[in-house]
């Protein structure tokens, strides 16, 4: 029987359905956007839009696509002092940012933050779609679950308080003792949307998971390729998760198993990914070999932090999986993918147990927490909705459970706001009027091609972000032979010893305007002052025979 014809839904209803997830995403991201706004409200300084030290480096990468004076599809390392450094790199996000900066002439930090606003919103929309696909959005319990999906955490704050009470008189000082690098590794999901780069990576990663659940394998493969080109760690993680899951599904003989081309293509992509990052870059560039050695850092996730961060959601996940198995004697279609996602991410994040560690914390970033939460979310939703039927427990049970899950992020945002870590070094970057004057000197066309040598490390770094100049010592992790370059810079300002790499270069030297000895020494070797203010002085010396 043919269903009776129904009149078209009103336009307002259609718009409401389509706009609702975007509005919800915007509301959920309010803590992020307030943090953005706070960066520009610090008395006496101007916010740059860069809320963490490394974030400015991506705009240096974006500028590097035009380092030769015209656009090139690949770029050379902007933190190299060598203008002829080989162009070996290509990243979709920095490429888009570079084109946008060139077309608009926008301030790098403002452009970067504007991109962050947009990418966070789109990423939040995808996260809502993934939550709806797995958990649903059918009642107040699922709404509470969505809030916890974005801003839930673990027991890091509680463990920190207990540790503080047991060992010190000021327990609040130990709130983040178990959150690596003061919480800036973002072990759960929502905090990642603070960084423009992480918003982009999570947008692609979560989109790929959602596309796989909807059996759109070609589009998911494209996402994996984009993330592979964007980031060595997140790209490898997504390829490993999708590859392992698709192989298991095919070996299990499921009726709706992924087509053969999907795992085959992922295996090929894995070979290309590892070949590019582990072999080609090392083979093609001596500077990159030096960087690889600097990046082999033992940034590990300690076991106490792992248990505190993931223990509560792991418990929910275990209860959820066991309850499903006891009820239906099988797992549903999403459980295998979530379990593989969790297992692969955990192995990568703790690869220090198997081999020499290479920044294992890069594999956390919410990628362990998210599948655990989604596995346990039905239990959270059921608990909230069951409690709503009892007068006494209606508020107490959901409030306690949700409050505990939200505590880590609530405490972190309050701590960050109280300590101004979103705006001041070593985390964020700001510029006062005298620092801005130094930056404007770098932008002066008269000094095009000059090499920056700075007594203040901040200027050596930001010169690559706000100007086309190169620095002898720039980003502390991405400058080739960084420790040696830093020592050479200190030696030059201390006793005038110049590295041989400076002899045929035009130089801009930045010094703190405090003592006369350094200034006198610079003038003796041919430098002349081009800027002097209360805090800094800039000296220039054209190339000499």
- What pLDDT score does 11 carry? 39
How does residue 390 score in pLDDT terms, banded at 50, 70 and 90?
confident
- What pLDDT score does 148 carry? 96
246-256 tens-digit pLDDT: 999 999 877 78
How does residue 45 score in pLDDT terms, banded at 50, 70 and 90?
confident
Question: 530: which residues sit within 8 A by CB, 6+ positions away?
Answer: 441, 447, 508, 538, 539, 540
- What pLDDT score does 385 carry? 87
257-298 tens-digit pLDDT: 899 999 999 999 999 999 999 999 999 999 999 999 999 888
Structure tokens at 278: 């582990």
CA distance 535 to 503: 28
Phi-psi region of 288 (alpha: psi -120 to 50; beta: other; left: phi over 0): alpha
Could you check whether the bond before residue 426 is cis, i.e. omega within 30 degrees of 0? yes
Q: Of all residues in the chain, what percent carry a pLDDT higher than 90?
A: 70
From residue 314, how far is each of 42, 348, 374, 408 by CA, in Å? 40, 17, 10, 16
The stretch 469-496 carries a mean pLDDT of: 94
From residue 495, how far is each of 44, 332, 532, 534 by CA, in Å? 34, 70, 22, 23
DSSP letter string over 96-153?
A: HHHHHHHHH---HHHHHHHHHHHHHHHHHHHHHHHHHHHT---SHHHHHHHHHHHH--
The stretch 439-450 carries a mean pLDDT of: 96
CA distance 37 to 32: 9
Q: At residue 42, does pLDDT exceed 50?
A: yes
- What pLDDT score does 169 carry? 66
Cα dihedral sign for 502, 503, 509, 512? positive
How does residue 395 score in pLDDT terms, banded at 50, 70 and 90?
confident
Q: Which residue has the tokens 């050379």?
A: 76
- What pLDDT score does 14 carry? 39
Phi-psi region of 526 (alpha: psi -120 to 50; beta: other; left: phi over 0): left
Residue of 287, 295, 293, 290 lying closest to 76 (CA atoms): 287
Residue of 237, 208, 238 lying closest to 222 (CA atoms): 208
Share of the chain residues as helix, strand and coil, in percent rounded to the nearest 5? 65, 5, 30
- What pLDDT score does 15 carry? 39
Residue of 160, 154, 191 lying closest to 174 (CA atoms): 160
DSSP letter string over 271-335?
A: HHHHIIIIIIHHHH-HHHHHHHHHH-------HHHHHHHHHHHHHHHHHHHHHHHHHHSS--TTH
Q: At residue 421, does pLDDT exceed 60?
A: no
**The whole model's pTM is what?**
0.93
How does residue 517 score in pLDDT terms, banded at 50, 70 and 90?
confident
Structure tokens at 20: 């609702």
Q: Exposed (0-12), middle (13-18) or buried (19+): which is 1, by Cβ within 10 Å?
A: exposed
CA distance 420 to 411: 14
- What pLDDT score does 7 carry? 38
The stretch 418-427 carries a mean pLDDT of: 56
Cα dihedral sign for 307, 310, 313, 318? negative
Phi-psi region of 448 (alpha: psi -120 to 50; beta: other; left: phi over 0): beta
CA distance 481 to 476: 10
| Greater pLDDT, 497 or 514 | 497
Q: At residue 170, does pLDDT exceed 70?
A: no
112-153 tens-digit pLDDT: 999 999 999 999 999 999 999 999 988 888 999 999 999 999
- Beta bridge mates, 453: 509
CA distance 445 to 397: 65
Q: At residue 244, does pLDDT exceed 90?
A: yes
493 with 459: CB under 8 angstroms? no
- What pLDDT score does 187 carry? 96
Which of 88-92, 436-440, 497-501 is the least confident region? 497-501
340 with 307: CB under 8 angstroms? no
- What pLDDT score does 399 carry? 83
348-375 tens-digit pLDDT: 999 999 998 999 999 999 999 999 999 9
How does residue 419 score in pLDDT terms, banded at 50, 70 and 90?
low
How does residue 427 score in pLDDT terms, banded at 50, 70 and 90?
low
Which of 16-20, 159-163, 541-545 is the least confident region? 16-20
Domain locations along the chain: 148-181+213-419, 432-541
């Amino acid at each position: 029987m043919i269903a009776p014809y129904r009149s078209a839904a009103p336009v307002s209803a259609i718009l409401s359905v389509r706009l609702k997830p975007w509005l919800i995403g915007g509301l959920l991201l309010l803590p992020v956007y307030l943090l953005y706004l706070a960066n520009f409200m610090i008395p006496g300084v101007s916010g740059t839009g860069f809320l963490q030290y490394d974030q400015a480096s991506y705009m240096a990468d974006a500028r590097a696509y035009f380092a030769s004076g015209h656009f090139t599809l690949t770029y050379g390392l902007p933190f190299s002092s060598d203008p002829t450094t080989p162009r070996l790199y290509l990243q979709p996000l920095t490429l888009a940012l570079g084109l946008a900066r060139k077309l608009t002439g926008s301030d790098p930090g403002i452009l970067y933050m504007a991109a962050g606003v947009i990418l966070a919103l789109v990423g939040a929309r995808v996260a809502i779609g993934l939550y709806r696909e797995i958990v649903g959005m059918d009642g107040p319990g699922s709404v509470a679950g969505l809030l916890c999906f974005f801003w839930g955490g673990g027991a890091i704050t509680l463990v920190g308080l207990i540790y503080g009470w047991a060992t010190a008189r000021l327990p609040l000082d130990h709130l983040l003792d178990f959150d690596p690098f003061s919480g800036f590794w973002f072990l759960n999901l929502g905090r990642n949307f603070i960084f423009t780069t992480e918003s982009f990576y999570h947008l692609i990663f979560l989109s790929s998971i959602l596309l796989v659940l909807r059996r759109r394998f070609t589009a998911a493969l494209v996402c994996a390729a984009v993330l592979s080109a964007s980031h060595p760690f997140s790209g490898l993680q997504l390829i490993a998760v999708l590859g392992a899951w698709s192989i298991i599904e095919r070996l299990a003989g499921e009726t709706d198993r992924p087509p053969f081309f999907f795992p085959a293509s992922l295996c090929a992509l894995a070979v290309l990914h590892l070949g590019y990052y582990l072999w080609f870059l090392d083979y093609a560039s001596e500077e990159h070999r030096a960087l690889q050695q600097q990046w082999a850092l033992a940034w590990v996730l300690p076991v106490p932090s792992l248990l505190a961060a993931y223990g509560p959601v792991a418990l929910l996940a275990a209860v959820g999986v066991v309850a499903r198995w006891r009820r239906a004697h099988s797992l549903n279609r999403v459980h295998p993918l979530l379990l593989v996602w969790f297992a692969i991410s955990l192995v990568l994040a703790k690869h220090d147990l198997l081999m020499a560690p290479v920044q294992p914390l890069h594999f956390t970033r919410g990628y362990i927490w998210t599948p655990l939460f989604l596995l346990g979310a039905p239990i959270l939703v059921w608990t909230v909705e069951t409690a709503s039927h009892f007068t006494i427990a209606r508020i107490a049970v959901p409030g306690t459970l949700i409050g505990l899950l939200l505590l880590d992020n609530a405490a972190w945002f309050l701590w960050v706001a109280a300590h101004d870590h979103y705006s001041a070094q070593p985390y964020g970057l700001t510029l006062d009027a005298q620092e801005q004057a130094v930056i404007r000197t770098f932008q002066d066309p008269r000094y095009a091609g000059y090499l920056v040598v700075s007594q203040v490390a901040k200027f050596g770094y930001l010169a690559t972000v706000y100007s086309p100049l190169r620095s002898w010592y720039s980003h502390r992790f991405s400058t080739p032979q960084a420790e040696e370059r830093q020592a050479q810079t200190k030696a030059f300002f201390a006793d005038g010893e110049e590295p041989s790499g400076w002899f045929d270069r035009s130089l801009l030297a930045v010094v703190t305007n405090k003592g006369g000895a350094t200034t006198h020494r610079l003038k003796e070797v041919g430098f002349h002052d081009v800027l002097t203010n209360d805090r800094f002085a800039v000296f220039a010396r054209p190339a000499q025979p």
